[in-house]
Amino acid sequence: MEDAPGPRITDEGGDVTDRVRDVIARLGCSHREFARRIVMDPSKLSRSLGGTRRFTLAEIVRVADIGGVDTGWLLGAPERPAAPPDRAPAAVPEGGRPLQIVRETVRLIAEHGFHAVRVADIAAACGTSPAAVHYHFPGRDELLEAAVRWCMDEDTERRAAGLAAAPDARGELLHLIALQTPRTEQQRRQWLVWLDLWAQAARSTAVGRLHEHYYRQWRTTVADVVRRGVGQGVFRAVDPEFAALRLTALIDGLATQVLATAPDSTGPDTMHAALLAFVDSELTAAPAG
């Protein structure tokens, strides 16, 4: 996946990295959780903290926003004193400004499509200025990456909770299928953002790498579940990778029909029934005896 655009921060002595580590320590969260909060690829955060990659200015701005510290301090200036007690602090959106921008971007993309959404629209939805949006996310591709990353993180959390509660791999697969069936407003919104990513990926090498990264993760998850099911005896002895390829392709095609056709045509119930039929006919092992 192509690295984030924007100017890089010079940090020869490691002072910026040390201050970012200090922010993470103050928040008391893991590096992965901190990456989620600043809408950053965890591997990029890890490389930046390890000294093999430099933070971009936009990333430092998001670190400062989430950490409640001054950007200048992160870049090496002395820490500013606290504001006088008679001055009311500026209102900070829940989760911080970067996450607010990303959430509103997701909503607007789902409603209007990525190309129809202007930075001015996102700024208006957030009650801020276009300059503030560019301050956190300099380019449109970076905004799309952040929107997709947020959707995937949300999906991953729900996916993990359901997989842990499932009695066996068949139950895990049925849980994944239920998550991918666009019934709720949130599920439909995530699918619409994903469809926009597909369209962008066909025209942009950078966005294409982003699509490949997330789609590989998703298909690997399905293949791993099928592989566990074969080992448990609840699935037949199939090739897990090929089964995952077929099932994810079926999910994609049916979801596209649900979102793109009239309500009385292919609906969520029809999609769900077709996916269950695939599991029963192509994967489920015959009962013993």
What are the C-alpha distances in Å from 247 to residues 32, 146, 186? 29, 27, 22
The pLDDT, as a whole number, for residue 193 is 86
Most confident of 132-136, 170-174, 205-209: 170-174
What structural domains and CATH numbers belong to the chain?
A: 13-81 (1.10.260.40), 94-138 (1.10.10.60), 143-283 (1.10.357.10)
Closest CA to 141 of 201, 194, 60, 97: 201
pLDDT, one tens digit per residue, over 181-232 is: 999 988 898 898 888 888 887 877 777 787 888 889 899 999 999 999 999 9
The pLDDT, as a whole number, for residue 1 is 45
Kindly indicate the confidence band of residue 21, based on its pLDDT and cuts at 50, 70 and 90: very high
CA dist., res. 97 & res. 266, Å (int): 38
Secondary structure of 193-220 in the HEC alphabet? Answer: HHHHHHHHHCCCHHHHHHHHHHHHHHHH
Q: Which residues contact 44 (CB under 8 A, 6 or more apart)?
A: 3, 4, 35, 53
Look up residue 184 and give its amino acid: T
CA dist., res. 241 & res. 211, Å (int): 18
Kindly indicate the confidence band of residue 91, based on its pLDDT and cuts at 50, 70 and 90: low
Question: Where is average pLDDT lowest: 60-64, 145-149, 158-162?
Answer: 158-162
Q: Which residues contact 181 (CB under 8 A, 6 or more apart)?
A: 187, 255, 258, 268, 271, 272, 275
Look up residue 136 and give its amino acid: H
Instruction: Supply the pTM of this predicted model.
Output: 0.70
Contact 64, 127 (CB under 8 A): no
